[in-house]
Amino acid sequence: MRKRNRNRFARVGLLAIALLVSLCVMGVGYSAWTETITVYGTVETASWGGGLSDAVATSENITLSVAPPDTLNVGVSHAQANTEYTGTFKVNNTGTVPIRIESIVFALPPNVTADISGVSEGDQIDPGETKSAGVSTSTSEGKSYDFTVTFTFILWNE
């Protein structure tokens, strides 16, 4: 009789232990947690580009104008042979990133020469900076003529 009671209580004890362990395991399982954390990013890009402005004739018979943003129109009327006609203009960085003058391309008629002074290909212009430049042209024969000078700007790191 006493032995039966011992077995019964032993079973109760084991049951209690099993219950305890299972509940603890459940507790651990519930308390393990998952969480998502986040990196939010915003990228605001700059503006970049260059432009020409303030084209002014500095000799007779020549007219200058800017075709925005990067082309200089030059006209010479009744040019005398081998006479130099000149003007000035400005080259600006209109953005917020340093730029570089990648190329300066002349579209000239026959027997006409032209040159740009003050700036040259490869020059860097910082944001807000303005460079003063000059244009000069001549022809080997007396005539009227027009030509254009086109600037190409790129980011300094390209």
Partner 1 sequence: MRRFHFAKAGLVCLAVVVALGGLGAAYGYASGTLRAGDMVAMACVTGPFTWVVSNDDGKVTNISPYGAIDPGDDGGGTNYDKWGGQSSNDPSEPQTRGVVCARYDKDVARTTAWMSCDHQEITVLVENAYPCYYPTVFFGLKCPDSPSGTITDIVIENPYPDALTVTTSGIYEGQPISQCGEVTGAVHVHVEQPAAQNAVYTFKVSITIQCGSTTCGKCDTAYAYGGKCYAKCFLCCGFSNWGWTNGPLGPGYYEFELWAGAAGCDTSKGTLVGWVSVDYNGSRAIVTYNVYAGNYMTATHLYVGKNRLPKNGNGKETVAPGQYPYKHDPLNNVTTDSYTVTGLSGNIYVVAHADVCWQANNGGGSWNWGNWGQWGWWNWWKGWGWNGWWH
Instruction: Mark 45-74 with x for binding to partner 1 (rule: CB under 8 A) and - for no binding.
Output: xxxxx-------------------------
With residue 18 as reference, give the H or E element that holds it.
helix 2-31
Residue 36 burial (10 A CB sphere; 0-12, 13-18, 19+): exposed
Which of 19/56 has CB closer to partner 1?
19
Which of 98/118 has CB closer to partner 1?
98
Instruction: Mark 4-43 with x for binding to partner 1 (rule: CB under 8 A) and - for no binding.
Output: -xx--xx-xx--x--xx--xx-xxx-xxxxxxxxxxxxxx
Which of 2/78 has CB closer to partner 1?
2
| Closest separation in Å from C-beta 132 to partner 1 | 20
Q: Side chain identity at 150, as an amino acid letter?
A: T
Residue 88 burial (10 A CB sphere; 0-12, 13-18, 19+): middle
* Direct distance between the N- and C-terminal alpha carbons of the chain, in angstroms, rounded to an integer: 97
**Interface of this chain with partner 1, residues 80 to 109, rule: CB under 8 A:** 95-98
CA 55 to mean position of chain CA atoms: 26
| Closest separation in Å from C-beta 14 to partner 1 | 10
